Amino acid sequence: MRKVRKLVAATTVAFFAVVVTALAINWTGSHYYLSSGQNGFLNRTVIVQASFGKGENRAVCAGIRYYGLSCVGRGSIASYIEPYAVLSEPYLHNHDTEGGYFVGEYLE
């Protein structure tokens, strides 16, 4: 019975992750360049609940300005999710030693 509950929970989480990604708004395009240590901001305030980012084989952080961020290593997708929607600005941070191209998305 426990295994069934865990399987149902894992399936639900995976389904939610796919739905959230499908509804996300891409704000960077596919060729958004950030130097090492540089931040990239949306440059406008929106109602946002989650921020996602992926680097072209680069370590990346995704965050919501004034709320927090989450960082991952090369080749992974960073995501920062608030429990409720907030009025702020999604952003990316190049956490790698080299510059590179990034994709950023947010969820309203």
Write the CATH number for 67.
Answer: 2.60.120.380
What's the pLDDT at 15?
A: 52
More confident residue, 101 or 26: 101
Tell me what the mean pLDDT of segment 39-67 comes to: 93
pTM of the model: 0.73
Tell whether the model's pLDDT for residue 4 goes beyond 90.
no
Q: Which helix (H) or strand (E) holds 77?
A: strand 77-88
pLDDT score recorded for residue 91: 94
Task: Count CA atoms closer than 13 A to 50's CA, side-chain side.
Answer: 19
The angle subtended at Cα 50 by Cα 30 and Cα 29, nearest 5°, is 10
Q: What pLDDT sits at residue 8?
A: 63
CA trace torsion 51, 49, 47, 34 (10° rounding): -10
Helix (H) or strand (E) holding 92: strand 90-94
State residue 2's pLDDT score.
76
Question: Does 18 score more than 60 pLDDT?
Answer: no
Contacts of 100 (CB under 8 A, 6+ apart): 33, 34, 55, 56, 57, 58, 94
Q: Which domain does 66 fall in, by range?
A: 2-107
| Domains: count for the chain | 1
